[in-house]
Amino acid sequence: MKKLIKTKTAIFILSFFVSFIAQSQKVALFNTGFKTPIIYTDSVTVQQVANGLFPVSTNDFDTLYANLDFINKILKKRQRSKMKSFELHAGATLITVERVPFSNGDRYIIQASTHIDEVNSNLTLADIEHSNKRSSQRIEKIMAYMKTNKELFKIPSPIHPKIYNVIIITE
């Protein structure tokens, strides 16, 4: 009888620790208006995305923040870029940046897309209808919104993100 109780206790303790080790991936759901607090969940549904929530894996917060900071620096500098388009990756979130030439400096079409739990979600970060200054303000708003999360996010060390699928202009 004592052996059975010890076995059950051992199984309980083992399953308790396994539940911590094998936790499902935490997902942060951003309100696309960036007005309501970030919601945390273990999975993403189509209904959540249809209600204006944008999912981001909490493991990718630092990389996403660094990518947004990199893009913000590009937007703040009036320039003619040699990159026609490129991608930035932050785990399940992909940011695509496409240059659109204007007479007084380039503007950009910037889209973020996330694929989690077989659910795709898209978020426009910048478009050519708005100036780079206004697009920069939107990205700074997103970065400030991410900082409101005190538990799972600390401001990352400055890094230069990896740029993927770069198309260079050869004029």
Calculate ∠ Cα 51-92-85, nearest 5°.
100
User: Residue 95 belongs to what domain range?
Assistant: 2-168
Q: What's the pLDDT score for residue 50?
A: 93
Q: How distant, in Å, are the alpha carbons of 127, 140, 142 from that of 130?
A: 6, 15, 16
pLDDT (tens, 9 = 90+) of the chain, 171 residues, equals 555 555 555 444 444 443 344 345 689 999 988 888 888 899 999 999 999 999 999 888 888 999 999 999 999 987 777 778 899 999 999 999 999 988 788 899 999 999 998 999 999 999 999 999 999 999 999 999 988 876 655 665 566 677 777 777 776
Going by C-alpha positions, the residue among 87, 94, 48, 66 that lies closest to residue 161 is 66
pTM of the model: 0.78
Which stretches within the chain are classed as H helix? Answer: 2-21, 46-50, 61-76, 132-147
Amino acid identity for residue 89 in this structure: H
Q: Per the structure, how many domains does the chain have?
A: 1
pLDDT at residue 155 in the model: 60
DSSP string, 132-150: HHHHHHHHHHHHHHHHT--
